Amino acid sequence: YPEAYYLLGINELLFWLLWDGDKESSRSKALHYAEMAEALDPGDPETFELKGFAHIKHGNYPESMEAFQKALAIDPNFSKVHAAIADWHFAMGNRKEALASAERAVSLEAFAPGWYFEHLGRIQLFNGMVEEAIATLRRPETYGMFSGRSLAAALASAGRVDEAREEARLFMLRQPHWRIRDWIETEFFAHKEDAELWFRLYESAGLPP
């Protein structure tokens, strides 16, 4: 069952990204499970979405995009792949392309999951669309999830410092071990200046370095 390997792979990545699991072990296992799923069903776009995501988290940008393109060749309207490609462009510093992919992912779902909006709002902020980012990150689908960190940064960018500090406080109540440097490490920014930008944005909101 390729779906079982897909779920194992996703869980490995989330274990590292969200719950401080072992970085090297989780990344390697995720890629292994993606390859196992591909061997069982090379026509499943989810397999290539996982493979591309795992490659991003190894910093393997060409291999990651190759996997995403294979997924789109199977299903051009697979929203999760468009969301993943938005993340790829975000890491590469391609702001407009990231925004287009994030908007495409949301448009393909009648009821898009909350993390789509978290990514969209963060990318809107990356594009200087501060008010749009605040509105997106306050949507009920995503508010109270990981969007809190980016909402705090967007509010700080808008000069709404008290609101930013309150959102940062609420976020840290939910994620007390979260640190800016750890998050930056998981994003694999291709350009140092983008990592530095996000460090400043989050720090300006009162989030811990």
List the domain range (segments joined by +) for residue 142.
95-209
> Global pTM?
0.91
Q: Which of 49, 76, 103 is the last residue of a domain?
A: 76
Alpha-carbon distance 71 to 84, whole Å? 11
What pLDDT does 91 receive? Answer: 95
What pLDDT does 195 receive? Answer: 98
Indicate if 52 and 109 belong to the same structural domain: no
Indicate if 164 and 116 belong to the same structural domain: yes
Indicate if 191 and 119 belong to the same structural domain: yes
CB contact at 8 A, 100 and 85: no
User: Over the chain, what is the mean pLDDT?
Assistant: 93
Indicate if 50 and 143 belong to the same structural domain: no
Residues 57-72, mean pLDDT to the nearest whole number: 93
Indicate if 26 and 106 belong to the same structural domain: no
Note whether residue 84 is domain-resident: no
As a whole number of Å, the end-to-end CA separation of the chain is 42
Alpha-carbon distance 120 to 83, whole Å? 9
**CA 51 from centre of chain:** 15
pLDDT digits 0-9 by tens, 118-155 = 999 999 999 999 999 999 999 999 998 889 999 999 99
Note whether residue 86 is domain-resident: no
Indicate if 127 and 169 belong to the same structural domain: yes
Alpha-carbon distance 54 to 68, whole Å? 11
Alpha-carbon distance 85 to 91, whole Å? 10
Indicate if 206 and 107 belong to the same structural domain: yes
Alpha-carbon distance 39 to 54, whole Å? 16
Number of domain units in the chain:
2
